[in-house]
């Protein structure tokens, strides 16, 4: 394999010394970039873009051409697994992802396809291999998946939901059915992430987008337990290098001590959690990733710089911090404001690593 020229991101996830705080952005390849919109139009549809390895590679690399990010993230979608299971993913204009079929009974569960990631999601692995080749060791590549609970939410609801009424009703009233679904998904996600790592992903992130919608007890039972199961199945290293895992539960800041014990090397936090409090809660058990409010990018460059300075000061000195937004970048952001954001992290963070 090509030697990695910039391993700052991987070192930070493992709480090793770095010269400055590494940075990447969730959804850094996306609609805020005019070049992304042009490629998306060229592809014909969002799913066609995901399934074309060359175009998925192109949009993955686009933000790296503009900004000195310390990692690339695979361009794909969290709902690839439910689609492969046979639910029929499609995107409704203005409404987001939808499924033609749902899982609301044992019969629905039994009707799902049996899948093997390397075969049934081969287009994702082709994209990973293509991106790794084109990156040529410049920065690491992050693979990812949705968490079992988040995938189940879409599969039961049939798409996005404001109150998650159907999926919560199943969890609370039919826990055996829910656990059967989550168990199936945990095995599928573990297989999927292992296949991405085999194809060349150098770190992986589990997006638990809807974990924060649960109560504390339900979160541990229906979300955290299954992410822990996935992480236990991931390879600890490939070609002599560790493959770190990041768990990101949106709205999960109140459960940080429990999340820190799930086996992941890093925990992502959203903007509702104070980063100094987060570091105090997890100690030196895991690295932290985050956590500027994505809406801050609508502010002036000067204000963005102030916020970056505040978050860096909040985390304080020493290793174990990856700078990121607290969720994905908003499509309407001015790309020049991202430049201000990245520049601020690069210029202000070295002082926090002088003694690493």
CA 136 to the chain's CA centroid: 22
285 in a labelled binding site? no
Could you report the per-residue pLDDT of 231-255, keeping only the tens digit for each? 999 998 898 899 999 999 999 999 9
Could you report the per-residue pLDDT of 197-211, keeping only the tens digit for each? 999 999 999 999 999
123 in a labelled binding site? no
pTM of full prediction above 0.95: yes
Q: Which two tokens stand for residue 124?
A: 């994702």
Identify whether the C-beta of residue 52 lies closer than 8 Å to the C-beta of residue 125: no
27 in a labelled binding site? yes
209 in a labelled binding site? yes
pLDDT value at residue 355: 74
Active site residues: 27, 31, 40, 77, 154
Please say if the pLDDT value at position 157 is more than 80: yes
Identify whether the C-beta of residue 144 lies closer than 8 Å to the C-beta of residue 207: yes
Identify whether the C-beta of residue 304 lies closer than 8 Å to the C-beta of residue 313: no
What percentage of residues in the chain have a pLDDT greater than 90?
Answer: 94
The Cα 230–Cα 279 span in angstroms is: 24
Please say if the pLDDT value at position 223 is more than 80: yes
29 in a labelled binding site? yes
The Cα 233–Cα 218 span in angstroms is: 23
Could you report the per-residue pLDDT of 250-289, keeping only the tens digit for each? 999 999 999 999 999 999 999 999 999 999 999 999 999 9
pLDDT value at residue 1: 56
CA dihedral (35, 38, 43, 45) in degrees, to 10, reads 110
314 in a labelled binding site? no
Which residue segments constitute the domains of the chain, with CATH numbers given? 19-266 (3.20.20.210)
């Amino acid at each position: 394999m090509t030697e990695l020229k910039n391993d700052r991101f991987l070192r930070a996830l493992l709480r090793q010394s770095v010269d400055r705080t590494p940075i990447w952005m969730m959804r850094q390849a996306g609609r805020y970039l005019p070049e992304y919109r042009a490629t998306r139009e060229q592809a014909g549809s969002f799913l066609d873009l995901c399934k074309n390895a060359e175009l998925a590679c192109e949009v993955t690399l686009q933000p790296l051409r503009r900004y000195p990010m310390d990692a690339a993230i695979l361009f794909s979608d969290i709902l690839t697994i439910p689609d492969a299971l046979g639910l029929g993913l499609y995107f409704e204009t203005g409404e987001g992802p939808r499924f033609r079929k749902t899982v609301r009974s044992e019969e629905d569960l039994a009707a799902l396809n049996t899948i093997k990631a390397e075969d049934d999601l081969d287009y994702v692995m082709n994209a990973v291999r293509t991106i790794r080749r084109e990156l040529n060791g410049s920065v690491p590549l992050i693979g990812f998946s949705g968490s079992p609970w988040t995938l189940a939410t879409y599969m039961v609801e049939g798409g996005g939901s404001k109150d998650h009424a159907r999926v919560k009703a199943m969890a609370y009233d039919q826990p055996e059915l829910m656990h059967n679904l989550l168990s199936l998904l945990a095995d599928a996600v573990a297989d999927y992430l292992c296949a991405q790592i085999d194809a060349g992903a150098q770190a992986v992130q589990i997006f638990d987008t809807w974990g924060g919608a649960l109560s504390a007890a339900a979160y541990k039972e229906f979300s955290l337990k299954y992410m822990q199961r996935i992480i236990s199945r991931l390879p600890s290293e490939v070609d002599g290098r560790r493959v770190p895992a990041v768990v990101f539960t949106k709205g999960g800041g109140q459960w940080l001590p429990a999340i820190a014990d799930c086996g992941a090397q890093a925990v992502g936090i959203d903007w509702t959690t104070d980063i100094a409090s987060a570091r105090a809660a997890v100690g030196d058990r895991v690295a932290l990733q985050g956590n500027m409010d994505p809406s801050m990018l609508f502010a002036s460059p000067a204000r963005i710089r102030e916020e970056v300075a505040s978050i860096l000061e909040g985390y304080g000195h020493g290793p174990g911090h990856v700078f990121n937004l607290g969720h994905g970048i908003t499509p309407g952001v001015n790309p020049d404001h991202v430049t201000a954001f990245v520049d601020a992290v690069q210029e202000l963070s070295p002082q926090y690593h002088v003694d690493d």
